[in-house]
Amino acid sequence: MILLKNKSQINYAILIFSFLLIFSCSQEKNYNAKIKGNTMGTYYLIELIDVPVKLKIKNIELEIKNTLKKANKILSNWDKDSEISIINKTDKTTAIKISDELNEVFKTAKEINAKSNGFFDLTLDPIIELWGFGYKSKQMQVIPKNNQIKNILSLTGQKSFLKMNFDNNELIKKNKDIKINLSSIGKGYGIDLIGKKLDQLGINNYIINIGGDILTKGYNSKKENWVIGIENPNLKEKLIKEIVNLTNKGLATSGDYKNFFTKNGKRYSHIINPKTGKPIKHSTKSVTVIHENSMKADGWATAFLALGSLEGLKIANKEKIAVIFIDEIDNKLIKFKSNAFNNLK
């Protein structure tokens, strides 16, 4: 400790201290960080760029975990006490109040259902379960018979069986036995919720990746757009089939090359054709969609994979959606891009 004996010494000391304080603060810079963990049956990896120094990484991690918990409590069919699971167990055909978040998901689901000619459908849960791809995790032993599929299909049809009052946050199941499955859109919306939280915290540059579905904002560590590699459906080759540069957009890939089973030498995809109630049979192996947010990219990727490239490209060009289809034709992987995808900069 230094004992200051007079006023001039004190003033001088205050001046020096103030200078050191200002100098010290000026040396503090925004920082970059990576956060990772597990959620929704898969991994998450979040990269943050130029985080304001006042925001502590532990607090950011906590906010992300709380946001993921919230998303699961609303959207997860695997959580028996989630909002969507409670709706599925609700045995009535009168109006059911739903959260703002679920209301937003249903708005997007209705839009994609209409524009995809019904190839995106939230009510496919019983047919997904019949084929052994649902959240009850049963292993497929016997291929369903046509009469079983026909009976189950009578309980599917988003346009016919779900009535929404978006202004009042109300859902009506026109048949009490209707079951809703959000796995085709829930992960994307969970990503968007994290993005909104980061925005609220004042973080302007990030990439959120949950199991390959992505949301980007701002720039990467090189102060450039985020660079994303689109996976090769032939996992044995371990090659990237396409590279895109993104900012302020979502990206989602749906493919039939990871989740499938083989029976009697025949392969069955987890993507179900809503019209036939059977796994898709066309040549499209994967679809990657780039859209304004991750939820829309997620939902449309499922719709386009169910449709296949032939019909899917027609809708993509009509709706001006950026999408790339990768088809297997004569044992070769062929890429088909929508006009909007070709126009990406």
CATH topology of domain 83-173: T-fold (1.10.3980)
CATH of 31-76+185-342, one of 3.10.520.10, 3.40.50.1820, 3.40.50.1000, 3.60.20.10: 3.10.520.10
Question: What is the pLDDT at residue 4?
Answer: 38
Phi first, then psi, for residue 137 (nearest 5°) are 55, 35
Average pLDDT, consecutive stretches of 10 residues, N- to C-terminus, the chain (345 residues) = 42 42 53 95 95 96 97 94 96 96 98 97 93 70 86 94 97 96 94 98 97 96 94 69 92 82 77 91 94 97 96 98 95 93 89
Question: What is the pLDDT at residue 45?
Answer: 97
Distance CA 288, CA 61 (A): 29
pTM of the model: 0.88
Distance CA 132, CA 139 (A): 6
Structure-token match 């992300």, residue found? 64
Question: What is the pLDDT at residue 7?
Answer: 46
Provide the residue ranges of all domains of the chain, joining segments of one domain with +: 31-76+185-342, 83-173
